[in-house]
Copies of this chain bind each other. A is one copy, B any other.
Amino acid sequence: MTVTQEHLDTDTLTGVVAHDISDDPFPVSGWDALVWASGNATQSAQYFQLAFGMRLEAYSGPETGNRDHHAYVLRAGSVRFVIKGAVSPESPVADHHRRHGDGVLDVALEVPDVDKCVAHARAAGAQIVTEPHDSTDSHGTVRTAAIKAYGDTTHTLVDRSRYHGPYLPGYVARGGAVHETPAFVALDHVVGNVELGAMDEWVAFYHRVMGFTNLAEFIGDDIATEYSALMSKVVASGDHRVKFPLNEPAVGKRKSQIDEYLEFYGGPGVQHLALATPDICETVDALRERGVEFLATPDSYYTDTVLRQRIGEVLVGAHHVDAREVECLSRQVRQRLTRFDLRAPLAQDRLEIS
């Protein structure tokens, strides 16, 4: 297979639009990190390096004075994963793992002004899990706070403008030995599954607390077909860099996949991530060789008119194909039901495959 393509920057890949966040009531600069609770953080971190080509950047654990958990900071492009695993059964990370299996603890957002965000969130009725505070080491000072989101998920707000360390105070720089090609370059969106009837409540939460707006192209689609049976709305930060689709179950011909998630995950939580790759065909081929399994995409994903409108177009080999997004399951990423999306390039991209 030969693939040629024009350069696409990650903002284009992920649909970022021009917007001045400084007037936002809750200004969000972008993603900071996806923080995972893992049953074996050391092995998970190695897996993400071997299978997805992420690079180890930093570490915290018993050797650095953290007796509660191990944590590995991995990077691919602008995507940062922090994989945490309990050292003792009393760790909150062990609690989360017991309830949910491997899953996302925290979707951390980069903000220029933690206190302004928290003040707005508090006034809007959000639960402040951790009040704003500074953490300092020889690399500088980070200001953080955290607010509660759906289920056991939190949003940590991070201002690292005065910090130049590898991740956060308490972490030390650490590199890995694996040098596979990274499979993705940016985080496109993080999908949350919530209970029946709770979708609009959480859409309203992101409107009210974070000043997010609905992404017009995805509003109000009722996707209640045989293969999906879900309701979904998408909220986004001002410049669309941070996007949160929120799903709730819908009645379909079969049991809703969202009900199935809620049952297996043990409540609401992050269902899947969409990750941007400049070359989805090459990436999928490479990942398959590394043992990553993909969901078969049902034909209706291409033929259903509502979905077609939602998915848009991709150019592959100068021909239009009927998918902008390829949904795929990495059984390796989530033991239970979280899916791992690889977001296809936008229509501007051109792939030639021979």
Contacts and interface: CB of A to CB of B under 8 A. Distances in A.
Interface of A: 38-44, 46-47, 49-51, 70, 85-89, 94, 97-99, 101-102, 176-178, 264, 266, 288-293, 331-336
Contact of A51 (B50, B97, B264): B50
How many protomers of this protein does the assembly include?
A: 2
Contacts of A47: 43, 46-47, 50
A36 to B, nearest CB: 10
B290 A332 contact: no
A99 to B, nearest CB: 6
Nearest to A287: B177
A349 to B, nearest CB: 26
Contacts of A97: 39, 97-98
Nearest to A41: B335
A52 B312 CA distance: 41
Q: Which of A94, A176, A332, A333 has the most CB of B within 10 A?
A: A332
Contact of A42 (B70, B87, B178, B335): B335
Given A47-B46, A50-B47, A102 B40 contact: yes
A16 to B, nearest CB: 31
A278 B241 CA distance: 52
9 contacts: A39-B102, A43-B43, A47-B50, A50-B50, A50-B291, A85-B335, A177-B290, A178-B289, A178-B291
B39 A70 contact: no
A333 B291 contact: no
Contacts of A49: 291
Nearest to A37: B39
Nearest to A178: B291
A138 B249 CA distance: 39
A87 B336 contact: yes
A102 B266 CA distance: 21
